[in-house]
Structure 1
Amino acid sequence: MDNIDVSIWKIHDTAFREISGEHPILELLLDVEAYPFAHEAGVFLPDKNILFVTSNQFLDANGDKKVQISKISLKEDGQGASQEEIQCESIHMANGGVNDRKNTENIIFCAQGSMTAPSGLFRMSSVPPYKTEPVVTSFHGRPFNSVNDVVFSKDGCIWFTDPTYGFQQGYRPPPQVPCQVYRFDPNTAAIRAVADGFQMSNGLCFSPDELVLYVTDTDYIHGNGSTDPHRVSSIYALDVVHIHGQPSLQNRRLFAFVDVGVPDGIKCDMDGNVYSGCGDGIHVWSPGGVLLGRILVPGGAANFCFGRGGEIFILNEHRIWKAKLNPLVKGALLGI
């Protein structure tokens, strides 16, 4: 481990060596120079060995802003991948995504919406013709801002964030609700705002035991791309406490402040360590908030997802990288 490549792996605490393993590797899987195809989502379907990603915004042939959903097929030998663009007109400006707990062949996508199309959550099949249906598109009739990221809890409920990036970037109407975190119960269609007070609520994930919800606030970067070091670039931890049989978020506290860029996508491993895509790659913290180490990627990482046994697929705008960590490391979302 003394010969670890410090240009890729930055160790802040010796505990990171247990995560990186003896022979960590970072390798390029796919490079698409035409547009930034690998920005958000990052949904791994292990049974099919495929990955779904959403692009960053780019201009289409008509000069309009567009986000492209892509299916990434991973080669069986683990060396490289191929891209298929998915045509899905009902999901406008797609962003985050997560595996559907009810049907492993489906994906729940966040749609940021447009001036005429709603923002919300949509279910899409992972197989042709990629059938799509809305899950929830308003808070009791009040439109969402631009739904950003989504995660399931073990009871089958869906939690998601809703910042105002769409309005700031000119493709959504003025906000009608604050930047909040929501919980939607697909069995009863009940929806609740469960946390507020964020400037730009963005990524979210649960600890493996679901006793803590982590939420990132990315106000450091506003919709026009401007940055302000005085604004928030942090991860908050909130305890999940049940009151009268329903989850409540309490004891909000600062978990981590990011020194490079913003903490965008966020995930936990089965040991409770917290990973987030930041301006220089993936940062990793202990459950107690100690920065353990970084996987350094030129250009940073907006989002990522765990694969099998220590794999992490890193979305790096024009590129997808695969990091190979200790094979014992497993992502909490799929437990593999």
Structure 2
Amino acid sequence: MEDVNSSVWKIHDDSFRQIIGVNPSLELLLSVEAYPFAHEAGVFLPSTKELFITSNQFIGHDGKKKVQISKVSLGDENATPMREEVDCIDIQMGNGAVNDQDSILFCAQGSMTAPSGLFRMSSLPPYKTEAVLTSFYGRPFNSVNDIVISKDGCIWFTDPIYGFEQGYRPPPSLPNQVYRYDPKTSSVRAVADNFGRPNGLCFSPDEAILYVTDTDQVHGDGSINPSRCSTIYAFDVIYRNDQPFLSNRRLFAFADVGIPDGIKCDMDGNVYSGCGDGVNVWSPGGVLLGRILVDGGVANFCFGQSGELFILNEFRLWKAQLNSSVRGALLKI
């Protein structure tokens, strides 16, 4: 097999070559210098070839911190992507998001006056929005960060205290935890604790394992301490009395550059995470297989179709083309 560009594709294990294929590519799709438009979420809609993303925080025209939701229309292979800013006042400081049938389920980190929680937004104008969950039995969430929906329709999400540390949320009223919400019964449970800053989460393809990133190395006040967690944990999903529990917590991987933020699996169970040097990929056994190197690092990303990977790099949106046989576990396309 021909050598690939080592400045983009860092191979640690030969099996990474099967993932990236014989002719991988990294293409810049969009660049916006006004603000860091490509930070989190990353929700691909295959029916319309659209991508919904959230920006990093920036100062708006009113002098206050804000996060901007964008819709990127990708079009056909040779089309120029078009970006539209989506105004949705109900989703304050949006962050992670996930496909929810024909809609999108967003994490709203909230503000001093607006709640943090889960909000469903239509993917079509005028982008009608409804609140799904905004408290833990009346106790306000801290700043809900990332989200995934299991095959039974239940919603799993993380809730670190970043909003308070960054000055736009009240003092925490809950620990740094992972939660599960069942829309059918309106039951919400704390399912994992003892994190520094729980962040990204995803299931293995068979949903037998839940992966959770702990980004405690970087606190919301900007302090960085290399002795704190920059870690992906794995949990077994077991059932007791017909309810799922997380057990057998174990350190799955430690990110050596920056923090492991957003996280996804492919259908072979390989684990991808946005890190300080790009997208890192581990085998299901926790072996670092390789990296897609992106200057400035990656907070989040999502799979498209047939080996596409849309990479959010703050002021830039990239598309990596992996082996066309690669499928993301979320959409399985």
TM-score (norm 1): 0.98
Amino acid across the alignment from 1:186: P
Secondary structure of 2:180 counterpart: strand
Q: Which residue is 2:320 aligned to? A: 323
Q: Which residue is 1:71 aligned to? A: 71
Amino acid across the alignment from 2:313: N
Instruction: Write the distance in 1 (CA, Å) between the matches of 2:20 and 2:279.
Output: 12
Amino acid across the alignment from 1:228: N
Secondary structure of 2:84 counterpart: strand
Q: Which residue is 2:128 aligned to? A: 131
Instruction: Write the distance in 2 (CA, Å) between the matches of 1:16 and 1:66.
Output: 38
Q: Give the superposition deviation at 1:226.
A: 2.0
Instruction: Write the distance in 1 (CA, Å) between the matches of 2:230 and 2:17.
Output: 26
Alpha-carbon displacement from aligned partner over 1:180-219 (angstroms, at most 9, x marks no partner): 0000001110000000000100000000000000000001
Q: Which residue is 2:229 aligned to? A: 232
Alpha-carbon contact 1:268-1:332 (below 8 Å) kept: yes
Secondary structure of 1:19 counterpart: helix
Q: Which residue is 1:244 aligned to? A: 241
Secondary structure of 1:28 counterpart: strand
Secondary structure of 1:229 counterpart: coil
Q: Give the superposition deviation at 1:105.
A: 1.9
Instruction: Write the distance in 1 (CA, Å) between the matches of 2:184 and 2:7.
Output: 48
Instruction: Write the distance in 1 (CA, Å) between the matches of 2:139 and 2:61.
Output: 33
Amino acid across the alignment from 1:8: V
Alpha-carbon displacement from aligned partner over 1:37-69 (angstroms, at most 9, x marks no partner): 000000000001000000000001121000000
Alpha-carbon contact 2:2-2:22 (below 8 Å) kept: no
Alpha-carbon contact 1:105-1:127 (below 8 Å) kept: no
Secondary structure of 1:151 counterpart: strand
Indicate which of 183, 188, 200 corresponds to 1:203: 200
The runs of 5 or more residues in structure 1 that have no matched partner are none
Seen in structure 2, the aligned counterparts of structure 1 residues 7 and 288 have a Cα distance that, compared at 3 Å, is same
Q: In the alignment, does 2:94 pair up with 1:114?
A: no
TM-score (norm 2): 0.99
Alpha-carbon displacement from aligned partner over 1:106-149 (angstroms, at most 9, x marks no partner): 00000000001000000000001100000000000000000000
Q: In the alignment, does 2:16 pair up with 1:16?
A: yes
Residues matched between the structures, number: 333
Q: Which residue is 1:301 aligned to? A: 298
Q: Which residue is 1:141 aligned to? A: 138
Instruction: Write the distance in 1 (CA, Å) between the matches of 2:80 and 2:290.
Output: 26
Instruction: Write the distance in 1 (CA, Å) between the matches of 2:202 and 2:77.
Output: 30
Q: Give the superposition deviation at 1:80.
A: 3.7
Where do residues 53-68 of structure 1 align in structure 2 (5 Å cutoff)?
Answer: 53-68=53-68
